[in-house]
Amino acid sequence: MSRAGRISGAGPQAEPVMSPEPSDSAGAAGGVAGAAAAARAEGLVKIYGSGQTAVTALRNIDVSFPRGHFTAIMGPSGSGKSTLMHCLAGLDTVTSGRVYVGDVDLSKLSDKQLTQLRRDRVGFVFQQFNLLPTLTAAENITLPLSIAGRKPDQEWLRAVVDAVGLASRLGHRPAELSGGQQQRVACARALVTRPEIVFADEPTGNLDSRSGAEVLAFLQRSVREFDQTVVMVTHDPTAASFSDEVVFLADGQLVDSIPNPTAESVLERMKHLDDLQQEASAAGGASPEAPQPQPRQSPDEWHEAGQEQDHGSAGRV
């Protein structure tokens, strides 16, 4: 069984977030106990619209992401990979099922508590760097702490800044930094609060290969040296090869995973996603709201679509 989940069927000012009663199915996905998971989903369904216009983006997803692990989520355009990440991170609501960050059931949180959880326990890295142009690199890095009214741990801040190699650029504003440097600022900002989990949505999508490799190496190092947990959505097999494991989605279903991936093994597995999706549908049954699967891209078309996305908008899938 995959550690990250093969197919199976706060800050001082924060309000207390109550832990839910342990779920009978906690840890069922991937054989990872609930206590060991930084985030997990149980029976997750996400449907947009209703009636004849309903689109099922995620179908009964059961998955968990172990602490201290770097997991990549891959799939063709429209497979639901970014929708899954957004639901796991509390950026989008679920239609049914449950999502946990640590032992906290996100469905039981108020809007205020959810905001505090995202601020204090979750880090984010997006394709668009989302830096404030009027702030220096240092101010952008510590922005989540400033918003929370907390002072940075100077030793930890130095460790993060040194890890991203930006000590000499802290006084520069985003317009004075390269794209790769801006994304490394965003990575440092994601880690400065010592989050339980970092979600990265196409973090190298707007970068050249060298800058992208630097960002991926930092994310990998944050897991191995700082014991962080990273979940990354990507279309790029080379980016996925930096992870400890790749999980694959097709038509809103988890269909496969690869531990210790290489770019070559990822490309080879991509060729067989159609067969794997059909097997998963036959085993689990199609959701009544689900639309008919559309003809899927070949691996080459998939990768080309991602490259077009890199040079266009930050489009979510």
| Chain position carrying tokens 């209703």 | 50
Per-residue pLDDT tens over the stretch 113-126: 999 999 889 999 98
Q: Tens digit of pLDDT for each residue in 45-92? A: 999 999 989 999 999 999 999 999 999 999 988 899 999 999 999 999
Name the nearest CA neighbour of 11 among 153, 149, 114, 140: 149
For the chain, the first-to-last Cα distance in angstroms comes to: 27
pLDDT tens-place string over residues 153-188 = 999 999 999 989 999 999 999 999 999 999 999 999
List domains and CATH numbers for the chain: 29-310 (3.40.50.300)
What integer is the mean pLDDT of 133-149?
94
Cβ pair 18, 108 in contact under 8 A: yes
Please spell the DSSP secondary structure of 157-169, one letter per residue.
Answer: HHHHHHHHT-GGG
In this predicted structure, the answer to whether residue 296 has a pLDDT above a threshold of 80 is no
pLDDT score for 273: 79
Mean local confidence (pLDDT), 227-255: 95
Q: How would residue 281 be classed by pLDDT, with cut points 50, 70 and 90? A: low
Buried-exposed string 91-120: b where 16+ CB fall within 10 A, e elsewhere: bbebeebbbbbbbbbbeebeeebbebbbbb
Contact 191, 229 (CB under 8 A): no
Number of Cβ within 10 Å of residue 166's Cβ equals 20
Query: In terms of pLDDT, which residue wins out, 115 or 295?
Result: 115
Beta partners for residue 46, in sequence order: 58
The pTM of the full predicted model, rounded to 2 decimals, is 0.77
Question: Per-residue pLDDT averaged across 253-267, rounded?
Answer: 94
Query: Can you tell me the distance from the alpha carbon of 36 to that of 21, in angstroms, rounded to the nearest whole number?
Result: 16
- Residue 272: the pLDDT is 81
Instruction: Give CA–CA dist 291/180, Å, rounded.
Output: 39
Residues 134-148, mean pLDDT to the nearest whole number? 94
Q: Across residues 263-291, what is the average pLDDT?
A: 70
Contact 8, 1 (CB under 8 A): no
Token pair listed for 173: 């504003």
Contact 189, 115 (CB under 8 A): no
Torsion angle, CA of 276/75/28/292, rounded to 10 degrees? -60
Arithmetic mean of pLDDT over the chain? 81
C-beta separation of 247 from 63 below 8 A:
yes
